[in-house]
Amino acid sequence: MPRKPLIRRFLPPYLAISLLSVGVATFLRFQQIEPRLVTIADAWSLTVSQSLEHLLQAGQDLQLKRTISTLSLNPHMYLVAVATGNPPVVRYSSQHSYHNRPLASVLPADILPAMQRALATRQAQSSHWEYSGTLIHTYILPLTYAVSVFPPHDEQALIVIRTDLSVFDYHEELQFALETALTLIFVLVFSLLFYWLFRHYVLARLKALLSVVSAREKGNTSIRAPVEGEDEITLLSRHINQLMEHENADQQKLNAYAHEVEQQNFALATARDEAEQATRLKSEFLATMSHELRTPLHGILGFSQMLSSSTLPPQQAEYAQALHQSAESLLVLLNDILDLSKIEAGRLSLEQVPFNLRNLAQEVLQLVAPTAAQKGLELSFSYNAPELLVGDPLRLRQILLNLASNAVKFTQKGCVIIVVEGPVEPSRNPLPITLSVIDTGIGIPEDKQKLVFEKFTQAEGSTTRNFGGTGLGLAITKKLVEMMNGHIILHSRPGHGATFRVTVPLPLSPGVSGTGASHSAPVAVSPAHLSLCRVLLADDHSTNLMLATHSLEKIGVARVNIHTAVNGAKVLEFLRHNVVDVIFMDCQMPELDGFAATRAWRVIEAEQALVRTPIIALTANALSGTREQCLAAGMDDFVSKPFSLEVLKEVLLRHFKPPASAGSPAAP
């Protein structure tokens, strides 16, 4: 779109506004003519009526007649009349035909209401009406005058003055219109003259400056603005030239800086790629090591548990128990390292599910109770908070268990107290829930209290030797609390124990307010029912297959109903010719892994309209996202290795449906 010169863009609006302003002023002036004439007529009528009133009060009838006759000669005067009596009768009038006639008969009908108001209120009335193009102003003045005729009395009178406003002189208005027209002509001439001068003496030079700027925009760095004379445009040209010089210098600096930034970006991109590669390698290493460590650890824990539960000589039972405890310690360390790695990588996500906080706290109490009993410690529990809340029960349990385990570990005598507090009558949501663990242990010096939340750090070096531990528990606890938008506070003195207080916001479970909830007891399942369960175990590790087989036998599954497969292809081949009730599927297997095998079998079930067979992931991979990946592949549940017999039985009972012919469970 071509550019319009500045003057062409602003001159038409300027002229239009000028014309509009003059036109509006003229229109408003003419609109005020009639109100001004009415005001003049009111003032003139008031003066005349006061003169006539004075003559009437003085009883100078002859002078009154002469005054009315003189007024009748005025071209503006339409009617002057004096009426007396009640009803009023015209006594004196500028029109002789009105003498001795009722005043109501000589006035137009639209004036009569004004006459009646004047008689009633004894106040002057004024009105104006237009009759056939003639604007008539009427002024009525009521008065009372003394009559000296015997008997003397007061007489009422009305003075009526009607003025023809249409014959007033419009000379002033015509003069204003002429002045307005002359002003408009002057504005037009001045605007055109200004436009001509501006165009010849300003626009040409501005156009030259514009061409210089346009050439500069197109990349011509050598062009300069012309410098002529000493006026403002010349000053502008000099400034433009200076700006272009500075721009050239700045552009050179910018090019050098851009080159430097480009090199830095390349270096940063290389470093970022290396960091991402290192992160990927770290994640892959952790995933691989987690799986490879958990697989033999699963065997150690499982078989040591079986050994402990079997009949052994006392010394061998002690060895088996020590072996199991060592494996559990190794598992705790492995879990802590994996949790810390996931937190630092930002890959640890928190669940938001309903749970019972009282039950969770009591489970933690039961877990630390055996150790506390061995050390002769008193365990106390206090609960004063709503029970059904929404959050991540696994991580809350981990937080409380870390604090309670530390309290029992570092307390040689006395007690450990677990306190759960929160608003019982909640007034807001989420609720501030406080978990406190109080002990009478060795305590922590004030200058060491911040260090206990650091990784691989404890209050003193001797603590690790005396009490064991890696120093990861509190570091993980603090990070989990912060992920929940909470905070942890430590109060302690050496020799006087320690108090760890965690406060986290937790919403109430939907549809629940206050405390208390009823829970149904778990349904007991007969071992006879489990003996009927047909199970397929899929794992490429022979030790895992043997341990899983013995574990299933331990919880009541008949050995004849347990079948095994070493990869996903063998699973599909077996299922094409056999029916099972539950499948335990390892995820990482050769030829066809557990994910692909599950997806393939779900397709076969849909195509052949088969009853859905529960598939439970049984994997040593405990990294974040594994559970979701299993469920997305079509599996129904997830069990992480190593697992306990209780967990295995609970999962099996959750998905196994005994045949109807099995009958009701036998009473124990």
Question: Distances in Å between the alpha carbon of 321 and those of 297, 316, 468?
Answer: 15, 9, 19
Least confident range from 55-64, 406-415, 507-516: namely 507-516
Percent of the chain topping pLDDT 90? 19
Place 570 in a pLDDT band, splitting at 50, 70 and 90: very high
Residue 32 vs residue 454, higher pLDDT: 454
Euclidean distance between CA atoms 55 and 589, whole angstroms: 133
Q: Which amino acid is at 379?
A: L
Predicted local confidence at residue 524, as pLDDT: 45
Q: ∠ CA(273), CA(277), CA(283), 5° rounding? A: 145
- Give 381-440 pLDDT, tens digit per residue: 999 999 999 999 988 998 999 899 889 988 999 999 999 998 876 667 789 999 999 999
Place 151 in a pLDDT band, splitting at 50, 70 and 90: low
- Which pTM value belongs to this model? 0.46
Place of tokens 């940063």: 268
Q: Which amino acid is at 57?
A: Q
Q: Is the pLDDT of residue 4 over 70?
A: no
Euclidean distance between CA atoms 74 and 347, whole angstroms: 107
Q: Which amino acid is at 442?
A: I
Query: Of 26-30, 219-223, 505-509, 618-622, which one has max mean pLDDT?
Result: 505-509
Residue 382 contacts residue 419 (beta carbons within 8 Å): yes
Euclidean distance between CA atoms 485 and 378, whole angstroms: 32
Average pLDDT of the chain, as a whole number = 80
Half-sphere exposure at residue 50, Cβ-oriented, CA atoms within 13 angstroms: 6
CA torsion 472-477-482-485 (nearest 10°) is: 170
Of the candidates 602, 603, 628, the one whose C-alpha atom is nearest the C-alpha of residue 617 is: 628
Question: Distances in Å between the alpha carbon of 74 and those of 31, 94, 163, 167?
Answer: 27, 11, 10, 11
Question: Distances in Å between the alpha carbon of 532 and those of 406, 529, 549, 636, 637?
Answer: 44, 5, 15, 21, 21
Mean pLDDT on 538-547: 88
Q: Is the pLDDT of residue 516 over 60?
A: no
Q: Give all strands of the β-sheet with 378-384 in edge-to-edge order.
A: 378-384, 415-421, 431-439, 498-506, 487-492
Predicted local confidence at residue 522, as pLDDT: 41
Residue 347 vs residue 537, higher pLDDT: 537
Q: Give all strands of the β-sheet with 153-164 in edge-to-edge order.
A: 89-93, 77-84, 153-164, 134-147, 125-131
Q: Is the pLDDT of residue 476 over 90?
A: no
- Give 176-229 pLDDT, tens digit per residue: 667 777 877 887 787 777 777 777 767 777 777 778 888 877 777 777 777 777
Place 148 in a pLDDT band, splitting at 50, 70 and 90: low
Cis status, amide bond into 75, omega within 30 of 0: no
Cβ density class 136-160: b for 16+ within 10 Å, e for less: bbbbbbbbeeeeeeeeeeeeebbbb
